[in-house]
Amino acid sequence: GEYENQVRPLHIIGEHSSGFAAEYVVVPAKNCVKIPPGISYQDAAAAGLVYVTAWHSLITRGGLQAGEDVLIVGAGGGVNSASIQIARLAGAGKIYVVGSNAEKCRTAEELGADVTINREETDNWSKDLFKLTNKRGVDVVVDNVGKATLPLSMRAVRPGGRILIVGGTTGYDATINLAQLFYYHIAIIGSTMGTHHDYETVMNLVFQNRLNAVVGKVFPLTEARQAHETLENFDTFGKVVLDLS
């Protein structure tokens, strides 16, 4: 009838919605996708939002082209770890990643980063990046750290390059030099989440194992508080997943 459960034939479904830390949620059927055999609940949950966000920023809005060099500021976050893989899949030239420690830099390299810069070993990573690119800068910067890093990202991008922003973990009230912005023709492109087409595209790539979910830690639902503390302390690489089983 008119109110028949349209998702029943899918058996296993996945979605992201407000109030996610619950055993039951109600979502539009059109936003659900079937999880194929061989893909775990944890991987499917970890992939959805961050890959959509990263794809929409890098590909749909940012227009990343094959051969372009990319800098990703921050190695461990879900969107940034997804961005490394998407940039590699899109045929990026060199992928540079700024990480907060040696362990996160190593993991970023395993995901596809060509060059990593450990913040523990430098006073100014934008200067290091500038030297690594022979004083050219990169074509695209992914900076979701925000206030603490945007001025450095402005110096790391080449003239005519793009800075892509989907968040600001250190704050949203960043200060930049507007003269630098217009003099060097720098484009700052913001976005959030993505379209239904982005969602279908990236989940198909995940289901084909062309993109791989990065699961940092898994907690049972009863330990949701500890999961949030892990996120707040940046004590993981990739996504934190709540297991409802």
How does pLDDT run across 200-213, given as a tens digit for each residue? 999 999 999 999 88
CB 105 within 8 A of CB 116: yes
Q: Domains in the chain and their CATH numbers?
A: 8-49+195-243 (3.90.180.10), 67-190 (3.90.180.10)
Mean of the pLDDT values across residues 67-73? 97
- Give the pTM: 0.86
Percentages (nearest 5) of helix, strand, coil residues in the chain: 40, 20, 40
Whole-angstrom Cα distance, residue 72 to residue 89? 15
- DSSP string covering 23-73: S-----GGG-EEPPTT--HHHHHHHHHHHHHHHIIIIIIT---TT--EEEE
Token pair for 69: 């060099």
Predicted local distance difference test score (pLDDT) of residue 237: 83
**What is the average pLDDT value for the chain, to the nearest integer?**
88
pLDDT tens, residue by residue, 155-211: 999 999 999 999 888 889 999 999 999 999 999 999 988 988 999 999 999 999 999
Predicted local distance difference test score (pLDDT) of residue 25: 77
Share of the chain above pLDDT 70, in %: 92
pLDDT confidence bin for 32, thresholds 50/70/90: confident
Mean of the pLDDT values across residues 37-51? 88
Identity at 213, one-letter amino acid code: A
Contact partners, residue 152, CB within 8 Å, separation at least 6: 73, 124, 125, 126
Share of the chain above pLDDT 90, in %: 60
CB 211 within 8 A of CB 86: yes
Residue 95: pLDDT above 70? yes
Whole-angstrom Cα distance, residue 10 to residue 158? 47
